[in-house]
Chains A and B, each alone.
Chain A
Amino acid sequence: MENIFTQWFGNSLLTYILIPVPILVYVSVFALYAVLAERKVSAWMQNRIGPNRTDKFGLLQTILDGLKLVQKEIVNPTRSDKLYFRMAPFIVFTAAFMGYAVLPFSSVFMGVNLNIGLFYFFSITSLGVVGVLMAGWASNNKYSLYGAMRTVAQIVSYEIPTALSAIVVVMLTGTLSMNNYALAQSGGIFNWFIFGGPGDIYKIILIPIMVISVVILFISTLAETNRTPFDLTEADSELVAGVHIEYSGMLFAMFFFAEYAQMFAVSGVIATLFLGGWQSPFGDLIPFLNTPVFQVLWFLGKGLFLVFVQIWLRWTLPRVRIDQLMTMCWKYLIPITLVNLFLVGLYMLIFK
């Protein structure tokens, strides 16, 4: 995208202001309809109808909800830290949104083709935790504080399995650029890293390792986005709404937006790392399906499928407890990912 915009507007400040616009538009539209999708999917799972009063299938529902939230008064709790209280949602949203800079929507459409893309993504999205902690502390509410402390513990811990399971792919490709992962998986569905990536027959050994890695990556990103079964920060049955408890109006909507933005961002990363990114599953059989416009569709399709799985899990599973969450991370996920790393290293030593 960078080069397209440079072509059109030259290497000016305007270019760099304009680059995020299409992504921002996408994120806004996605968040609005992901909320609707969440409500609709949950409704179908629970034998309900879901929102259906606004337009057909309730298509306007979340837009109108958003309009309502805009009109709401923003209430500052007494003795809260006003500055931080108002700043927090923006930090959370910004952190979630900045991750999109390196997501390769297709071989051409990406914010910036950074050579340390994956590294950038993990570090920038974990910035969100600062915002959450800020919100929890500034709200002057014990529930918020508990929620915030849980989040920090949770996100900081789950960074490790996330990164470690992603490193498997980094080792195989030897790059940190997001676009290169997608490029490395060209040539059809069996060249995706979930199936061991491109390579000779010995890559079969890699398949179980890769499947485990992708599952772990999915679980830990689920924890990082604070979705059920890991939504301890909100935990409505214990902490009422956690850090969101004192927020109203647009500030609350920012948190909401951030959550959905993050959901797609992490799904995008999983899709890029393991599911071929923007590559068509048919590879070179049908070259027509691998043109940039279709690439965007493949990428969105994979990302949205993972978002659907997240929604599905949310409405099926109960919530875990904080100590179980930590146990799972430190006692199971991290050792397994370490073993995975070791095995991949061994594979590379022997077969490459």
Chain B
Amino acid sequence: MAELRTEELTLNMGPQHPSTHGVLRLVLKLNGEIVDDVKPELGYLHRCFEKHAEAMTYPQVIPYTDRMDYVNAMSNELAYVLSVEKLLGIEIPERVEYIRVIMSELQRIASHLVAIGTYGNDAGAFTPFLYCFMDREKVLELFEMVCGARMLYNYFWIGGLSHDITPEFITKTKELIKYLRPRIKQVNNLLSYNKIFIERTADIGILPVDVAINAGVSGPSLRGSGIKYDLRKDDTYSIYNRFDFEVCVGTGERGTVGDCWNRYIVRAYEIEQSLRIIEQAIDKIPEGDVQSAVPKRVKPVAGESYVRTESPKGELAYYVVSDGSLNPYRVKARSTSFCNLSVINQISRGHMIADVVMILGSFDIVLGCIDR
């Protein structure tokens, strides 16, 4: 019998697809179930952030940064605000610094819960998804209590905050810490150490450290490859150097260091560390006025600044260039997911379709951040 004629199959995964986490399009070249090539096509959610920013005054840009990585708005605000403050060279009140750290860490928990939940959903386990979202809801309630918004806060201002926190917030946060610890354990039991889940994620999409660094992968995705590097510790900003916490890395407890499971589990560990930071910070908040340092007019001198921060997804920075006027001359977002996603082709070749979904999920991408 003559050899059967076979050919490569091109599958458009997305832009409308349940597990591309938004409107990402992956052009897969398939050989049966095996993936030969992955080509990401971006830009379906491009909202011209950088162009918009040039037409705004400095404080007006903050709401736009919220919409970059919309499950993680506080960290985006923090990165931008720190960059502008550096350019202005202003001193921030202690109280503001403490509240910023607490908020960022709460946001990190919320963001990681989304990451864990949706990752479970990618694997086909729907229940952990709802568990995580229920807990995230509690965090969002705290944010709502402070600034009235649940997702897009515009809470960090240049030099201060939009609202002060209330004593009720402090008690509620303490309650939340107590509530979250057993819940995280529960999700770990339900998902992280589930045999099928481990089978699905361990040894899949192994990302070696040198490749990761070369491609600009950062955050939990980089730590999953086993390098102990956290900007909060190693290139500290705000007041993170005052707190005692551990940098979690993928240890290869299951699977190999650098695979999907290790990238995933770093997030589960980090929630605990964030809780620790909040516990330390919540009792030490000094008195003060949160808006005392807010400048009337934000008009930095000509120059540029670039402050790298550790957002839940990785290294997030805004490159802000000022020409001495009221509007920024150029704002470039060093988007975390954008860099993290760029390795996907390299590490998913030779895996199966189902693995591509798991690899994509393990980077915890948000399309708002990628497409800007």
Contacts and interface: CB of A to CB of B under 8 A. Distances in A.
Interface of A: 42, 45-48, 142-143, 146, 228-229, 231-232, 235-240, 315-324
A316 B352 contact: no
Contacts of A320: 196, 199-200
B353 interface: yes
Given A46-B130, A237-B18, A240-B18, A322 B354 contact: yes
A46 B353 contact: no
Contact of B126 (A315, A321, A324): A315
Interface string B330-356: 000000000000000000000011110
A48 B130 contact: yes
B134 A318 contact: no
Contacts of B121: 237
A interface, by DSSP: helix, strand, loop or mixed? loop
Interface residues of B, number: 29
Give the 8 A-B residue pairs with the shortest CB-CB distance, closest first.
Answer: A319-B124, A318-B123, A318-B125, A237-B19, A46-B130, A318-B124, A321-B354, A237-B122
B357 interface: yes
Nearest to B196: A318
Contacts of B190: 316
Contacts of A146: 11, 33, 353
Given A240-B18, A322-B352, 15 more contacts: A42-B126, A45-B127, A146-B353, A238-B19, A238-B353, A238-B357, A315-B126, A317-B196, A318-B191, A319-B196, A319-B200, A319-B354, A320-B200, A321-B199, A324-B200
B338 to A, nearest CB: 23
Interface string B109-147: 000000000001111111100110010000000000000
Contacts of B354: 232, 235, 238, 319, 321-322
B236 interface: no
Given A236-B18, A317-B196, A47 B124 contact: no
Contacts of B197: 318
A237 B127 contact: no
Nearest to A324: B199
A231 B125 CA distance: 12
Given A235-B354, A318-B200, A228 B11 contact: no
A86 B19 CA distance: 29
A321 B201 CA distance: 10
Contacts of A235: 124, 354
A318 B117 CA distance: 12
